[in-house]
């Protein structure tokens, strides 16, 4: 996801498409139906202070300047020459950050490049930028992805061979710059100490020091989330090396970001499956200092590569990052197909499997499980697509569940697993949307995973079942709907339509 922006009631998603030499642009008014607007931000031959590049735009951002004009920003993915006019020792990858501002309201036409600040590094990096923001002090800030070894002296006085050495023990890093304006004559970007540096991720209560060994990838930075106990002052960092990870914390304008390491759910993975490189959009172009809706939209890796379903983000009273499918997706439900099944807690259940429905290859599932006393002694959950895919809750005492969710449960998709949060809960709510081979699931509005199912044997494999229902004390309720297609291009799957395919 190269960039995302909500502007004048429309939601814009830009995905990098190197094969077509530009950013694929799609737009939606309802976060469900998307229109293809082509590739407006595209390759140009650029020369600036010695730079010479005809490469495609790399991962970037779309922000709105002080005049209300949307501007797309990025760097060239590669270059034949660096900006030697500013630094005679520049490497060929040392190219500046630039913006191109929209010249029409549809964001399909863009002006000439304006180079806003140079960037230098000891090795070739994408240095993906986050969306620049105007903070509470009235200053503009920009951050871009590097690794924590941004300084040649950290590798000793010896040869260039060491300067390219990985892994970087410090992990990933967000550089930070400040200016009086995003671009134009008032722009005067100056570098500050790094915003955030870490090599540590978490999954539930499992802390993984050293997990990040290189630069952050496609970083995001936002705040002002609904539900924030601090009234919108809390901030969130996202990136995608060693998983689709996030950190919730605090930061004063121009200062360093401090993560809430001691709070369960404030550091973790925003997806345990193949969703990656996500960006946010929402009620306002400013995604940091103004409160409002925050919607996560990302890229589902694999084949076909697709745009994810939109998720609303919020914070719990304990600073957990919460996520839920946007309510607009309910418009896809076919009301006549609603089926509901309840299974009371019973040790005398006649079968561990309870057939619920035979719907379609496009369906929505909402299931709630609860229990009292000790954790269930066997896995349970929902089986979809004719038994080819299970969405499982496992509270048995395995070594992995002890480390990630001690005293709690793990959840599993076809190729993914993560902790059921909050740890120790005795209720599991599963919300899943299945679109042929793509399964997106969110457990308890916290643990999310997107997976491809490669085992669908036929179009008749549509049955849905509850399993594990013979477990004493476990009760369940499930509702399903068949879904309409979410595109404007004929009877295709929800995800795979031409506005969002890479």
pLDDT digit string (tens) for 50-79? 999 998 888 899 999 999 999 999 998 888
> CA-CA distance, 74 to 485, in Å (whole number)?
34
> CA-CA distance, 176 to 189, in Å (whole number)?
10
b/e 113-142 (16+ beta carbons within 10 angstroms → b): bbbbbbbbbbbebbbbbbbbbbbeeeebbb
305: its two tokens: 């590569």
> CA-CA distance, 360 to 135, in Å (whole number)?
48
185: its two tokens: 């004559």
Beta carbons of 323 and 311 less than 8 angstroms apart? yes
51: its two tokens: 């730079």
Fold identical between 3-329 and 337-482?
Answer: no
pLDDT digit string (tens) for 355-414? 888 678 999 999 999 999 899 989 999 999 988 899 999 999 777 766 798 889 999 998
Percent of the chain with pLDDT over 90: 69
Taking 50 as the threshold, does the pLDDT of residue 86 lie above it? yes
Instruction: Give 115's strand partners.
Output: 98
Instruction: Give 237's strand partners.
Output: 221, 247
b/e 146-181 (16+ beta carbons within 10 angstroms → b): bbbbbeeeebeeeeeeeeeeeebebbbbbbbbbbeb
Q: Domain spanning 3-329 has what CATH number? A: 2.115.10.20
Domain residue ranges of the chain, discontinuous segments joined by +: 3-329, 337-482
DSSP string, 377-413: SS-EEEEETTTTEEEEEE-S--HHHHHHSTTS-EEE-
pLDDT digit string (tens) for 457-489? 678 888 999 999 988 889 999 999 999 987 643
Q: Which CATH architecture best describes the domain 337-482?
A: Sandwich (2.60)
């Amino acid at each position: 996801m190269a960039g995302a922006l909500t502007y004048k009631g429309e939601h814009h998603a830009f995905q990098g498409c190197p094969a077509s030499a530009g950013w694929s642009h799609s737009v939606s008014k309802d976060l469900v139906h998307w229109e293809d607007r082509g590739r407006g931000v595209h390759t140009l031959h650029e020369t600036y202070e010695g730079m010479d590049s005809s490469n495609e735009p790399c991962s970037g951002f779309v922000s709105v300047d002080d005049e209300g004009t949307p501007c797309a920003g990025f760097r060239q993915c590669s270059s034949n020459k660096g900006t030697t006019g500013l630094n005679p020792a520049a490497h060929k990858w040392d190219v500046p950050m630039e913006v191109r501002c929209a010249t029409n309201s549809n964001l399909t036409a863009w002006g000439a490049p304006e180079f806003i600040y140079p960037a230098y590094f000891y090795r070739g990096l994408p240095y993906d930028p986050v969306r620049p923001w105007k903070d509470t002090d009235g200053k503009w800030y920009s951050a871009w992805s590097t690794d924590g070894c941004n300084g040649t002296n950290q590798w000793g006085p010896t040869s260039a061979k060491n300067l390219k050495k990985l892994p970087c023990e410090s992990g990933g890093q967000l550089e930070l710059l400040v200016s009086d304006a995003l671009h134009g004559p008032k722009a005067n970007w100056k570098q500050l100490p790094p915003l955030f540096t870490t090599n540590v991720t978490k999954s539930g209560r499992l802390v993984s020091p050293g997990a990040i060994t290189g630069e952050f990838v496609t970083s995001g930075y936002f705040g002002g989330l609904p539900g924030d106990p601090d009234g919108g002052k809390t901030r969130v960092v996202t990136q995608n090396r060693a998983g689709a990870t996030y950190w919730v914390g605090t930061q004063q304008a121009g200062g360093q970001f401090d993560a809430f390491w001691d709070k369960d759910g404030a550091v973790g993975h925003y997806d345990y499956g193949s969703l990656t490189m996500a960006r946010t959009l929402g009620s306002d172009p400013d995604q940091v200092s103004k409160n409002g809706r925050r919607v996560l939209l990302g890229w589902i890796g694999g084949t076909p590569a697709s745009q994810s379903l939109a998720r609303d983000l919020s914070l719990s009273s304990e600073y957990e990052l919460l996520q839920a499918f946007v309510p607009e997706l309910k418009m896809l439900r076919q009301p006549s197909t609603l089926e509901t099944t309840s299974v009371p807690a019973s040790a005398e259940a006649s079968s561990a499997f309870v057939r619920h429905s035979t719907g379609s290859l496009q369906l929505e599932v909402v299931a709630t499980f609860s229990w009292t006393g000790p954790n269930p002694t066997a896995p349970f959950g929902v089986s979809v697509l004719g038994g080819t895919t299970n969405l499982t809750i496992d509270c048995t005492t395995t070594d992995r569940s002890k480390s990630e969710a001690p005293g709690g449960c793990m959840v599993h998709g076809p190729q993914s697993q993560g902790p059921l949060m909050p740890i120790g809960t005795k209720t599991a709510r599963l919300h899943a949307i299945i679109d042929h081979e793509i399964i997106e699931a969110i457990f308890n509005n916290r643990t999310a995973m997107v997976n491809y199912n490669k085992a669908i044997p036929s179009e008749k494999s549509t049955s849905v079942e509850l399993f594990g229902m013979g477990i004493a004390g476990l009760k369940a309720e499930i509702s399903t709907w068949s879904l309409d297609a979410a595109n404007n291009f004929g009877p295709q799957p929800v995800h795979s339509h031409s506005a969002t395919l890479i």
